[in-house]
Amino acid sequence: MMANLTAQMGVLDRARKNYEKAFKEAERALDSFHRADADFNLSRAEVEKQRMNMTIKSQQCEETKNEYANQLQKTNELQVIILKIFVRQWHWLTCDLTYTLQKPYIIKMKAHTVT
């Protein structure tokens, strides 16, 4: 189970890095579009090219954000399952130990006869 969690944490980390990268690219594309839109020396075709790039990068960012959210949800669910197993085992061990400690310790004494 811990190997599954370790593998899932790796998948989550890659998803986070992909999202961070896509977010930065989307921000750069938005900045480029704003600069192009404000520049009266550029043709409408160049501005439209920047708008399309911004749209594509924004969509990619949204997709990677959703993938990161999905992987985060899977990781959290796996952690909850592992925690429940741990608590169940811990409870079983402590209940068994409590039972063992609370069990009356009966000592049988032999009756001695005086002769």
Q: What angle do CA 38, 43, 49 make, to 5 degrees?
A: 85
Q: Is there a contact between 29 and 95 (Cβ–Cβ < 8 Å)?
A: no
Q: Is there a contact between 57 and 19 (Cβ–Cβ < 8 Å)?
A: no
Distance (Å, whole) CA 60 – CA 64: 6
pLDDT tens per residue, the chain (115 residues)? 889 999 999 999 999 999 999 999 999 999 999 999 999 999 999 999 999 999 999 999 999 999 999 999 999 999 999 888 888 777 666 665 555 555 555 444 455 555 4
Q: How far, rounded to the nearest angstrom, does the alpha carbon of residue 15 sit from its chain's CA centroid? A: 10
Record: fold of 2-102: Substrate Binding Domain Of Dnak; Chain:A; Domain 2 (1.20.1270)
Domain ranges for the chain: 2-102
Model pTM score: 0.74
